[in-house]
Amino acid sequence: MKRINFTRLSIITLIFAALLVHDLPAQEKVLAEEQGTMTLPKGVSIYLLDNGMQVLLIENPALPMVGANLIIKVGSAYESFSTSGMSHMLEHLLFNGTTTREQKQLYDDVDMIGGYNNASTTEFYTNFMMVTPSDNIKKGMEIQADMLFHSTLPNEKFEKEKGIV
């Protein structure tokens, strides 16, 4: 159980940092040339925030959509035998309701803004994604933040997800 709380705290911290990105000036742009010999394609920028968070911005003005991926360095490679599968389990549990939204309401709210909300876990990271029409990204990020900050992790959902994961 301690692992869930630590992982949840890590996720909460990172999503909070991600939400701050919207209001931060892009003062700390990291040029690809400073990072090595890689040249970034046109429309791609990398930023390093004061808190250490890296932001990769890929602009495509041809599409009226925004995709926000929050990639957190938690996955099976960082788990012990006793915590095996916890990153993936937590990823699933975060979609089961919050203190302000039941599970159905989470899905309905994303549908109402024309969004797509999903996640995946690998050996080295967990990716939480939200894709919405450009005009609805703020609401999409609010929903995603609610999931990451205010998930209830109900026991009955834990047992259900245990069978899936």
Distance CA 7, CA 59 (A): 31
Catalytic, out of 91, 102, 142, 159 = 91
CA of 98: how far to CAs of 8, 25, 69, 150, in Å?
13, 31, 20, 5
What DSSP letter does each residue of 110-153 carry, written as one string? HHHTT-EEEEEE-SS-EEEEEEEEGGGHHHHHHHHHHHHHHB--
Catalytic residue status for 91: yes
Tokens of 50: 């004061």
Cβ atoms 130, 79 nearer than 8 A: no
Which residues are identified as catalytic?
91
